[in-house]
Structure 1
Amino acid sequence: MTDFDPRTLIAETPIGVLATIRSSGLPQLSPVTAVYDRDADLIHVSMTEGRAKTANLRRDPRAAIEFTSPDGYSWATAEGGVTLTGPSDDPDDPAVDALVDYYRLGAGEHPDWREYREVMVSDRRVLMTMSITKVYGAKLR
């Protein structure tokens, strides 16, 4: 078996399953598009205000995200505390700047930043940033 670096799988896999904690103590699982900043060891996820995962994180700012390889034989989980930025009522607010940075990190330049900023405000988008405190995983084949 070769050496397996869970952070490499996290960096290469944009879709993960975010686990937050409901008020009942049970997990809330949500598929999300995640962007990993390897240099800062942070995971970013854009979410909408008012959704269960956002409400859960406002109450208990701890989460885990699990990533699975396309063949299903490798997985990686990151755990950590999170901060939430936004939503904002102003397209030029620093909270929207953070969403611009998230987009750039994950996808590069947007064809119309003004439109993107307005959509982030109208959609009540919130940026979750996870500071990774633990990462683990395995390559099964």
Structure 2
Amino acid sequence: MTDTEFDPRSLIADTKIAILATIKANGLPQLSPVTSVYDRDGDTIYVSIAEGRAKTANLRRDPRAVIEYTGPDHYTWATAEGAVTLTGPGADPNGPEVDALVEYYRRAAGEHPDWDEYRQVMVADRRVLMALRIEHVYGAKLR
């Protein structure tokens, strides 16, 4: 496959683990490994993060991010850039913030064995759903 045939969005769709880059207050990048879900129809990448973590604070201050995916061959990569919206944390296990995290889980892993427990944990852990709307995507298959 040549670089002109490479579709970065296909790698994003097929790869769950990625590196999320946010911008620290001093302007340097802050990198975090994350589990992501790609919605091709909406061209949006979703990540569950926790309130109080560096990446969440960075995104509340500057809602721009970059996320990088590496293929299993270690020579194929894709990077997506875009503006981020954050949903949550929710205080109600049956509220819309937690509903969004349920949908994220379903896309990532299918059905949970105990949705009531999952919803309680999302509230207790103060989980936030990050949505990165892809504005620019690029990548390459180097070998």
Report the TM-score, using the length of structure 1 for normalisation: 0.98
The aligned counterpart of 1:128 is 130
Deviates more, 1:104-113 or 1:51-60: 104-113
1:7 to 6, 9, 23: 9
Residue 105 of structure 1 aligns to a residue whose secondary structure is helix
1:88 deviates by 1.2
- Whole-angstrom CA distance in 2 between matches of 1:10 and 1:113: 27
Shift of 1:100: 0.4
**Hey, what does 1:49 align to over in structure 2?**
51
Segments of structure 1 that go 5 or more residues without pairing to the other structure are: none
Count of matched residue pairs: 141
Letter in 1 for 2:47: V
Q: 1:125 Cα shift?
A: 0.3
Identity percentage over the alignment? 74
Cα separation, 1, equivalents of 2:110 and 2:44: 18
Distance 2:98 2:84 in 1: 17
Residue from 7, 16, 19 that aligns with 2:18: 16
Structure 1 stretches of at least 4 aligned residues deviating more than 3 Å after TM superposition: none
Residue 33 (structure 1) shift? 0.3
Structure 1 residue 103 displacement after superposition? 0.7
1:28-50 CA-to-partner distances (Å, cap 9, x unmatched) read: 00000000011111000001100
Distance 1:97 1:40 in 2: 18
Aligned to 2:110: 108
Partners of 2:75 and 2:43 lie apart in 1 by: 24
Q: Residue in 1 aligned with 2:93?
A: 91
Q: Which runs of 5+ in 2 are unaligned?
A: none
Which of 108, 118, 121 aligns to 2:120? It is: 118
> What's the C-alpha RMSD, in Å, of the aligned pairs?
0.7
Determine the C-alpha separation between the residues in 2 that align with 1:13 and 1:88. Answer: 28
SS at match of 2:22: strand
